[in-house]
Amino acid sequence: MPLLDDAGFPDEPADKGPPQFEEPPEPLEEQCGVEDFDPEKLHCIPEMRDMLIAAAKSLQVPAVMPLIAMLGVMAISVQKNFQVEVEGHTETLNLYLLYLALPSERKSAVQNLFFQVLFAYESEVNKQLAPEVEKSNTDYAVLISRREALIKKASKSGEHDQEELDDLSEEIASFEKKHFIKLVMDDTTVEALTVWMEENEECMALISTEGGPIQNMRDRYKSGSNMDSTYLKMYSGDPYNGTRIGRKNVSLQRPRLTMCVAAQPVIMEGLMSDRQYVDTGMMSRFLFGIVSESISKVGKRTVTGAPIPYDVKASYERKVMQLLDYQTEGMQTLKLSAGAFKAYEALFNYIEPRIRDEFYFMQDWVGKLPGQALRLAGILHCFAVPNPEQHEISMEVMGAAVDLATFFLKHAKAAYGIMGSDPKVSDAKYILKKLDGVKQITKRDLFNQCRGRFKKMDELEPVIGLLMDHNYLREMIPQSTGAGRKPSPVLYINPIKK
């Protein structure tokens, strides 16, 4: 790539040299403007708010990390029994949650702290179920043995009691085996997930601190698998029928899956450049949290954080277990109060006219935000009042859900920037790679270097403008000397690293 010697500029004396950069560039994505979550916005659920505050202080992490883990636990606790409905539209209460954080941000510690209550609940319930499960397994094995004995006898003698064999086969087919409960799985195959869901009232949670599920989805999609469609059904609660060669088929009437995934930003970079994958709609179902440099605690932590008060953690665990134990007669539908509907309507009216304009690069995600707010409201409601099905969702709870939705909107804009969904940002990153190690270059030469991506200079200009706005470049126009072609503007590259 050709470099230029220093040139004279009309407004700058030639001996003054190129422009001086005093500050490093600003991130192209909106991470610099991403704020941490204020736990006080969850004042309607004090037990959970207090746990969120205590966890952030104890682990010395931004509140967004324990917020996402906590919402995952809350969704798992209520997704089996409740849904929310407004104006004929129904939303299940499971969530797909994802936060992006660099190494050393204590992702595993956050997940372990909040999810240990679910593992403890599993262990306790399964101890109580053990005798019943063992008896069920024995009874089933006896039926299988009896049928095998009849078949063996018939094969030897050529005689058999067809009616007895039919009755036995029917009894085996209708036998309902007792199973140990399972609430949470850690990065599994979709086939195993569907089997476990069938055995656990069609509800499950999938957690990971390494982004495995996201990478698996993309890899399986590239290989021609329909795994994404399975996860789409599990998000929306749509029927699923899986055919498995040589094994029992799986049929789910209303599967509900909650995902809580932590990942490093690198796993998401460039994801949106795969338009076919984007069109599956998978990523538009996630609520995102970004641990940006502006809110990270790395470099500011002490050896030990403040311990979580015993009563705070006990109240959190007690509330979760109460809702895990809560029994209803079938799926219960939650409704909005008049005040709650006004708060929901205000969010909808804010989002709708901006989908194709302000949020053009993430309209698939933004279009689902009102529905996400309903899910959040339903979850908060279950933790805010006893006997949730006997109460309408209050304006206070819906207001907290709208606050959460607004918070996640800001983080989603940053996440979509990381994933490369904004074409202008993607183009800007492409140019920066071309300029790696370069100190200055004419605009004309830069265009020639990028002809494969930009057909006309008019397409390159707004991207250069974006880089200038973020302090990556400075443009100066050389002094014209004599007749002939005017010299091309010179772009100087900021040498200061972030």
Q: What pLDDT digit, counting tens, does each position of 265-321 carry?
A: 877 765 665 666 667 788 899 999 999 888 999 999 999 999 999 999 999 999 999
The continuous run of DSSP H or E covering 440 comes out as: strand 440-442
Of 22 and 123, the one with more pLDDT: 123
pLDDT more than 90, % of the chain: 50
Highest mean pLDDT among 69-83, 208-222, 226-240, 447-461: 69-83
Look at residue 165 in the predicted model and tell me its pLDDT: 80
Q: What is the mean pLDDT of residues 108-120?
A: 96
At 417, list the tokens: 């920037």
Distant-in-sequence contacts of 377-380, Cβ < 8 A, 24+ apart = 377/84, 377/336, 377/340, 377/344, 377/401, 378/78, 378/82, 378/83, 378/84, 378/91, 378/93, 378/334, 379/71, 379/74, 379/75, 379/78, 379/93, 379/95, 380/42, 380/44, 380/45, 380/74
Q: How many CB atoms lie within 10 A of CB 326?
A: 18
> How large is the average pLDDT for residues 63-89?
97
**Per-residue pLDDT tens for 359-384?**
888 889 999 999 999 999 999 999 99
pLDDT band at 33, cuts 50/70/90? low
Distance CA 263, CA 100 (A): 5
Find, among 144, 159, 146, 102, the residue nearest to 418 by Cα: 102
Where residue 38 falls among pLDDT bands split at 50, 70, 90?
A: very high
pLDDT at 272: 60
Between 139 and 59, where is the model more confident? 59
Model confidence at 1: pLDDT above 70: no
Q: Which one is predicted more confidently, 202 or 149?
A: 202
Q: Which of 77-81, 393-397, 437-441 is predicted with the least confidence, judged by mean pLDDT?
A: 437-441
Q: What is the pLDDT of residue 108?
A: 93
Average pLDDT over residues 227-254: 81
- Give pLDDT, residue 376: 98
What's the whole-model pTM score?
0.79
More confident residue, 495 or 247: 495
Mean pLDDT, all residues of the chain: 86
Structure tokens at 393: 């969702």
How confident is the model over 418-430, as pLDDT tens digits? 776 567 777 888 8
Helical H segments across 249-358, by residue range? 275-278, 310-325, 338-351
pLDDT of 2 over the 60 cut? no
pLDDT value at position 270?
58
Give me 366's structure tokens: 């933004």
Provide the pLDDT confidence category of residue 22 given band limits of 50, 70 and 90.
confident
**What pLDDT is stored for residue 15 in this prediction?**
43
For residue 339, the one-letter residue type is G
Residue 228 has what pLDDT?
62
**DSSP E strand boundaries for 277-393:** 286-290, 332-335
